[in-house]
Every structure is written in C-alpha cells, then in structure tokens.
Structure 1
Amino acid sequence: MSFPCVTMINVIGIGLDGAAGLTADTLAVVDRATVLVGSDRHLDYFPHHPAERLVLGNMVVVFETMRRRVVQSEKIVVIVSGDPLFFGLGRLLLENFPPEQLTFHPYLSSVQLAFNRLKLTWQDANVVSVHGRSLNLLIPLLQKGVQKLAIFTDQNNHPGAIARFYRNLDLPTHYHLWVCEDLGSAKEKVYSCLPADIDTYTQEDFSPLNLVILVRQEILTGNDLDLKTLPLMGLADANFFSFDDRPGLITKREVRVQALAELALQPNQIVWDIGSGTGSVAIEIARLCPTSQVYGIEKSSMGIVLIERNCQRFSTLNVHPIHGQAPEILSSLPKPDRIFIGGSGGNLIDILMSCQEKLAIGGKLVLALATLENLATCLAWFKKHQWDCSLQHIQISRSVPFANLTRLNPINPVNLITAQRLNNHTIIELPPESMDALNYPDNTDSFE
C-alpha cells in the first residue's frame, strides 16, 4: 500500500492538566483533526470534539484503521502522555508508519516534571521502564550503584514492589526513594521515604499514575548502628561502607560465613586478611574473636579508608589496616595462625610462597576465588607443595519478589579452598601437564 508523502498524523503529548496545558498552535492542530486517537483518559480531555474517535487497545486494529484514514486524507491526531518519543507510543508509530507522515509535538515528560519537583539535575539520570516488564531490569543498575534512577511503573511493579525488590537484593548501596503521583494535575503528590517505609504497600496505596525516583544516599555514619543487636556473624552486606564506583565489590555475607567456618578460628590468634577490600572479612573475624589480632592488608588507598571507616563503625579495635602490596608487605607482619585471601592483585603464586614461609605449622589458609584459572593455579600449587586442601564451590541465590510471587536471583559463584600446612613443606615434582596450571594469568578475584 502506498502512502501520500505529506504529514497526515500529528502525535501530541499532553499532561494531566489536559487541553489547558497545550499551546495555541497545538490546540489548533487538535481542532482541525478529523480522527482522534488515544486512550479513554486522553480522549476525555476533548469531550465535545466532533472527530471520529479511535480508542487505543488492539494496536493491530488501530494501526490498520489509521492506515485507511491516511489513504482517505483524514487529519489524524494521536494524543499521548508527555513526550511521545520517550518511553511512549512514538516508537511503535515509527515502526508502523513512514516518518514523513508523522509530526511530533512533545509535552513535558513525567521524568522532567519529577526531577524538577525534586530540584535535582537529571542529565546524569538513568531511566528504566518496568511497565509490563521484569523488575530484573533494575538489578545491573542497582548493583552498579547509579546515582539517580527514574522508574516507570505499572500496577504490578508499583512503588511498594520496587522497594521490596530493592531491599531483598541486600546491596551495600543505599537509596532514598521518591514517589511522584499525578504529576502536573491538581492531585499531584510527591513524597520521599526510605524503601523500608513502603515495602509492604500494595498497588491500592498509590495512584495509578506514578513514577519512582531513586537517589543514591551516603546514609551510613560511624555511630548509627546498635552494636548490641547485630548478629555474632553474618553481617548484612548493606551494613558496610563500600566503593562508590563498585558497590558490589565485597565478599558476600554467605561466602563470609562459610569462610569463617573453614578458618576454624580460636581466641588469641594472629590472622591475616589479604586483599581485604572493605574489611568485611577482617571485621567479622575481629568481632568473633576479640582477643585475636587481625591484619587487613589492602593495596588501594580507597580500600584502606573504607577499612578504617568500617572498623570505626563496628568498633573493632583489634583490626589493623595495613596499606601495601602483597607479598612484599607481609614480611613485616607477625607470623599468622590463620590466613584469608580474598584478592591477590596479580601476585597469587608469590603470595602463596610468602604465606607458606610465615604460616604456623597446623595453621589454616582459606582462599576465595572467582575464576577457574586461579582455582587451577592454587590446586596445582598446593599439590606441588604437599598441603592438605579441600574445595567448595559456593553458588547462592537470594529470593526477590516477582510480581506477587517470589523468584531466586543468583549471586556470582565463588570457589573456596581450605588448605592446612601439616608439616615442614617439601616440593614434589609434577608432570608437565600438571605444571601448565601454574602458568595461567593471575588476576585479582572479584566478587561483584
């Protein structure tokens, strides 16, 4: 079917103030229309308009009718919310009609209105629509810790469901939440809350026309925890200060708990935490064994700052942050009874050699490894040096809401090696194929 090469379809964005919010020129376009297309709500803004009305519903039927009206040289006006080309009907129209037949007249988008109501710039904001989609779309953005996030909702993925979903992810990043309802109308309502304030709310608690804004907050302080109410072990990931650019870079709670069990800690020990990161493992050890001395070795300056802040937060005076590169920095530390390695900075073999020289006979070493290459390297090294070792593959999923149901969201798997030095080490010769494992590139493991 051929189309006349003239603009026959005007797509007009409108706000909740209806026709009163349109300019005189835009109103003139509506007045000339012979066909009005839109939802019942949008068409109700023009109750006395004499044009034929097409109510949006079955889009195949609506678009076919519009094509026939174009051939008949009718003047079609499509009424939509806000900016038609911003998560709007504009995309579908461009997929079904030649662009030369379409003219767009945008109104203020709800995202524009929302950020202006909050008096926040939004050129750096991320915008996601979960309207008819999965909340899983939010996971990579929340794990990354984006600063600002605007979310288009629907009756299932309403603000309460979004708050519940975020809380169940148990991320170390903290967000403040704004619910923006009926923006641009006399019933407009904008209010702020913490996700915990509304995570039990249902769709009936919100206007159907709402938008959620999440803004990342640094709400942790050094003294906002009631230490008496914390568990003996297994602190929530969200309780720790973390890296701004990599908030997920922390040994996850479930892995920490298993690592603590494998270390078989005793009072009055010296413990090393190599590649300490945020200090989460060191702090768990220090709280379990207050008479032990824990050395958190971290190469990055930002990591040392985080360890110090987290130690202050949890009042763990027996954690000693050590700024330096392993293995070089290890020679100056007291000989350990237990060692945990959470990151190697590309020096895994050298670190293992240094640990072998320093670890007491009968001492235990636990490594958390994210990559198969480092796993193969370690297993070959322990076999060569005759350590007794065992391996666990930890693959944990956490529950997250899925509409009115619950699904499981996996966290990255981790390989946990527990090795014990039983006697003075001797080196055995391995066949060449076994030695190949020691030649893998050695990269720092990441637990994002």
Structure 2
Amino acid sequence: MTIHIIGINLDGLAGLSDSVRRVVKRGNLLVGNSRNLGYLSSYETIPKLLLTDMVETLSELKQWLTNWERNYQTNPEVIFLVSGDPLFFDVGGLLAAHFPADQLIFYPHISPIQLAFNRLQIPWEDARIIRVDSRSIDSLTQALKEGVKKIGILTSVDYPPQAIAQLILSLDLAKVYQFWVAENLGGENERVQPYPVDRINNYQFSPLNLVILLPDLPAIIDQVDLANLPSLGIPDHLFFGNSNQPELITPRELRILALGELGLQPNQVVWDMQASPGCLSVEIARLFPQSTIYAIEKTASGTCLIEQNCRRFQINNVISINGEAPSILHHLRTPDRIFMGIPDNNLPEILGICSIRLSPGGRIVVVLRTLEHINLALQWVKDKITREKHWNYHLLQVQLSRSFSLGSLTRFVSVNPVTILTIYNHSLFS
C-alpha cells in the first residue's frame, strides 16, 4: 500500500506537474475535501472518499484498505489531496502518525502563506506563522503582546479576519500593524490588500483567506488630546513604547490597581523604579501635579522613552533619572511612596535601601511576575517584620482578562497575571 499525499491549490490540475498527474492517474482511491476532489472531476472511474471529519475519514480509509487487500490481494495506491504543503499546518503530520513512513510519499505544493508573502514581495523567513483555533488563539495573543514584527495567520471559520482584528483592538497594543487580508490565493478571484483594523466589520471576505500582520508606522502623533483624556487609566496605545519590549508597558488595568495600592496623597515624593516607558509616572503626575515623581531607569533608551512620554502628556513634575538601583537611590529625596514595576534579581538589597529611605508611614508597591521574585520578596519582608514589628504587608493576586468579539460571541484574552506586594508601616493605618 502507498498513500500519495499531494498538495493542490486553486489552480487545480494545471498547477500539478506531469509526473504528479501520472501518479494521480494510477490511484485506486481519491481522498479529499469537496473543493480538492472537484479539481479531479474528470477522473470519473476512480472511487472517491470525501474528507469531512478527519477522524471519521481515517477510519473509513483504513476500512477501505482492509476491504481492498481482502478482495484484490494487491497493494493499492491512495491519492490524498490537501491544500498547499501537506506538512505545513495540514493533515500530513496526522497521516504520518497513523501510517508507517515507507507507505507515505509527499508531493508539496506552494503553501498559501508562502504565496501571500510573495504577493507582498516581503521576505518571510523571520515571520511567525500561527493557525488560529480555540487551542492556539493564546499563541497569537502572546505574539501580539511580544510585538512580533511579521505574523502570518491561517484563519478558520471560528476565527475569521474580523475576529483577529477585534483581538488586536482589545489588546490596546503599543505596536501598530498593517492588516493585510489575502483571499483566494492562486485562483481567478485572488485579492490581497490592506484594511483598517478598526473598520474591518464593514468588509466581507472569501472563506479562503488568511491574514498577514506587518510593521506599520506608529498611528499616534506627538501630541494627544489632553482635554479628552480620562483622569485615570490612559489607554496603553497612547504611550510611546519600546517596540522590541512592549511588555514593559504596564497595562492600563494593572496601572489603576497599582495606583490604588500606593495610596497616594497630594504633595508627595514618589519613586517609580524601572520606570520605562513612564506610564505610571505620567498617571501619578497628572493626578497630583504638586507631587514630585522620580522616574528611575537604568537604560538610556528607557530614559529617553520616559522623557518622550512626559513631553507627549505635557508633564513637568516628573524627574527622569538615568541610573541603576540601589546605588542611585542614595542621591534622591526621601520618598513617601515607592513603586517597582519590574524587579531585578537583587530585589532584597533594593528593598533594604528603600525601607531605610522611606518616610514614616510610607508604602512600597512591587509588581511580581515570577515565583522566584515572589519568594525573594516574601522572604525579605518576613525577615523585616521579625526584626521591626511596625512593618507589615499584603498580597494582591491579579488575573485580568479583556474581552473581544468573536462573531456573535465574546471571548476573553488574559492580561499577564501578576502578584502585587504592598509593604507598609503600621503607622499608615493608625
């Protein structure tokens, strides 16, 4: 028995080489979906097995093979038709798991994703390719959060271009993408063009489509409409961010919670540590224009982003400090509040200096993203309480999700889960 897995595209038989066509003519059974079998309608004498549910089709195929070998006692040749490359997000891998390698022969065609990037005349060796379904939507979400430069998305009935666009909008990304939809690639009605993400529901697409996301120029401008900004919770996309590390932007919802944990009051000195790109500093500065915020950042690029965002939001009470904790902390004014967004591995040492410098009744808020940092921080704070009884702490575990539309349904996508540690003096509540 030999199963020939043949890639075929919208150009049908015309797209197959002469040698592959000869293989098809030798076939004793044709297997494929209705579209692919339609290309071989001229092969009327060869029996056909319609591919619907893959599990059921495999069961039917194995039964057919058993019947053939019992009736004819010869080795049949099965032609299994797939779209594009059988081993690229297609059934090739599943067939390889069910049949011995020496019974399978693969004949790849150009994959739709390959065609799409070539139509755009853009190299795609560095692109991340994702086929979206209910199990892989989180992979796409993560790629968007990471700011991956090029993303090829093989859509599905449940996740059409409209759902992809809604996901992008719900994430409020710092990175802006060109949104390309490629339809009917290789066919007569082929169309490849960009669409506005926020108006994607105004368009209808062929069922045979995929989406390409490419880097775009920032949609934001140097100035924002300050009069119409919310008093609290500036949208993420309005901040200048580091496109290589978009995760540095503290999400809006987490920013609001952190501000609540800080328990801010007017005329305070606040340290915002590892502050790039300055989201929290800007929020505090707008809420309390008489307070002084030190935005501390060890990288030059991060310091530049902080200053850009201060100019963007016309902030004049944030002092950008380029330096590394804890050494830089000795040169700053005594803080009433301290925020740490991305702790370093020398967290215990930094907390020690911060606790010494913190004013009476002050408060330290630390956002912890890993178990290791949680353990480090808790060990430090428990040791601190053992020695100095006026210290205390509490933890807030944060698991936020944002909704996005999926046709008539609504799905949630998670914002990175974190633990917020708040350290304070008892005198704060006395």
TM superposition score category, shorter chain reference:
0.7 to 0.9
**Which residue of structure 2 lines up, in the alignment, with residue 385 of structure 1?**
388
Amino acid at match of 1:415: I
After superposition, what is the alpha-carbon deviation per residue over 1:156-208, rounded to whole angstroms, capped at 9, x for unaligned? 1111112212322334333322111111111111121243222x469xx3211
Amino acid at match of 2:403: V
**Which residue of structure 2 lines up, in the alignment, with residue 73 of structure 1?**
75
- CA drift of 1:419 comes to 1.5
| Distance of aligned partners of 1:408 and 1:79 in 2 relative to their CA distance in 1, 3 Å threshold | closer
**Which residue of structure 2 lines up, in the alignment, with residue 249 of structure 1?**
248
**Which residue of structure 1 lines up, in the alignment, with residue 141 of structure 2?**
139
2:177 to 151, 170, 175: 175
- CA drift of 1:286 comes to 1.1
CA distance, structure 2, for counterparts of residue 390 and residue 11 of structure 1: 62
**Which residue of structure 2 lines up, in the alignment, with residue 429 of structure 1?**
none
Amino acid at match of 2:368: L
- CA drift of 1:65 comes to 1.5
- CA drift of 1:52 comes to 1.7
With normalisation by structure 2, the TM-score equals 0.86
- CA drift of 1:92 comes to 2.3
With normalisation by structure 1, the TM-score equals 0.83
Amino acid at match of 1:141: A
Of 97-106 and 63-72, deviating more is 63-72
Q: Which runs of 5+ in 2 are unaligned?
A: none
Contact 2:361/2:424, CA 8 A, preserved across alignment: no
1:159 to 158, 161, 174: 161
Identity %: 38
| Distance of aligned partners of 1:239 and 1:72 in 2 relative to their CA distance in 1, 3 Å threshold | farther
Amino acid at match of 2:64: T
1:47 to 41, 45, 48: 41
1:398 to 390, 394, 401: 401
| Distance of aligned partners of 1:284 and 1:159 in 2 relative to their CA distance in 1, 3 Å threshold | same
Equivalences for residues 81-92 of structure 1 within 5 A: 81-92=83-94
Contact 2:5/2:79, CA 8 A, preserved across alignment: yes
Of 218-227 and 120-129, deviating more is 218-227
Of 159-168 and 405-414, deviating more is 405-414
CA distance, structure 2, for counterparts of residue 81 and residue 368 of structure 1: 47
CA distance, structure 2, for counterparts of residue 97 and residue 132 of structure 1: 27
| Distance of aligned partners of 1:111 and 1:344 in 2 relative to their CA distance in 1, 3 Å threshold | closer
**Which residue of structure 2 lines up, in the alignment, with residue 240 of structure 1?**
239
**Which residue of structure 2 lines up, in the alignment, with residue 409 of structure 1?**
414
> 2:158 is paired with a residue of what secondary structure?
coil
**Which residue of structure 2 lines up, in the alignment, with residue 193 of structure 1?**
195
**Which residue of structure 1 lines up, in the alignment, with residue 315 of structure 2?**
316
**Which residue of structure 2 lines up, in the alignment, with residue 440 of structure 1?**
none
Of 319-328 and 92-101, deviating more is 92-101
**Which residue of structure 2 lines up, in the alignment, with residue 272 of structure 1?**
271
Amino acid at match of 1:384: R
After superposition, what is the alpha-carbon deviation per residue over 1:275-297, rounded to whole angstroms, capped at 9, x for unaligned? 21321111111111223221101
After superposition, what is the alpha-carbon deviation per residue over 1:306-357, rounded to whole angstroms, capped at 9, x for unaligned? 2223223322232221111122112222333332233443343443443344
**Which residue of structure 2 lines up, in the alignment, with residue 100 of structure 1?**
102
**Which residue of structure 2 lines up, in the alignment, with residue 18 of structure 1?**
12
| Distance of aligned partners of 1:354 and 1:90 in 2 relative to their CA distance in 1, 3 Å threshold | closer
Equivalences for residues 262-341 of structure 1 within 5 A: 262-341=261-340
CA RMSD of aligned residues (A): 2.7
Amino acid at match of 1:170: D
CA distance, structure 1, for counterparts of residue 65 and residue 154 of structure 2: 28
CA distance, structure 2, for counterparts of residue 13 and residue 213 of structure 1: 22
CA distance, structure 2, for counterparts of residue 31 and residue 348 of structure 1: 70
Of 174-183 and 371-380, deviating more is 371-380
| Distance of aligned partners of 1:310 and 1:382 in 2 relative to their CA distance in 1, 3 Å threshold | farther
Contact 2:220/2:238, CA 8 A, preserved across alignment: no
> 1:315 is paired with a residue of what secondary structure?
coil
CA distance, structure 1, for counterparts of residue 66 and residue 331 of structure 2: 80
Contact 2:293/2:317, CA 8 A, preserved across alignment: yes
| Distance of aligned partners of 1:279 and 1:251 in 2 relative to their CA distance in 1, 3 Å threshold | same
CA distance, structure 2, for counterparts of residue 68 and residue 171 of structure 1: 56
Of 47-56 and 332-341, deviating more is 332-341
Contact 1:30/1:77, CA 8 A, preserved across alignment: yes
Amino acid at match of 2:39: Y
**Which residue of structure 2 lines up, in the alignment, with residue 348 of structure 1?**
347
| Distance of aligned partners of 1:348 and 1:104 in 2 relative to their CA distance in 1, 3 Å threshold | closer
Q: Which runs of 5+ in 1 are unaligned?
A: 424-448
After superposition, what is the alpha-carbon deviation per residue over 1:219-248, rounded to whole angstroms, capped at 9, x for unaligned? 155516322222111122333333444322
CA distance, structure 1, for counterparts of residue 289 and residue 356 of structure 2: 26
2:112 to 110, 127, 136: 110
| Distance of aligned partners of 1:116 and 1:332 in 2 relative to their CA distance in 1, 3 Å threshold | same
Amino acid at match of 1:46: L
After superposition, what is the alpha-carbon deviation per residue over 1:377-432, rounded to whole angstroms, capped at 9, x for unaligned? 12432553344544241323213348524346363132230424849xxxxxxxxx
CA distance, structure 2, for counterparts of residue 257 and residue 90 of structure 1: 48
CA distance, structure 2, for counterparts of residue 100 and residue 113 of structure 1: 30
| Distance of aligned partners of 1:386 and 1:193 in 2 relative to their CA distance in 1, 3 Å threshold | farther
> 1:248 is paired with a residue of what secondary structure?
helix
Contact 2:365/2:420, CA 8 A, preserved across alignment: no
Of 74-83 and 264-273, deviating more is 264-273
Q: Does 1:62 align with 2:61?
A: yes
| Distance of aligned partners of 1:224 and 1:217 in 2 relative to their CA distance in 1, 3 Å threshold | farther
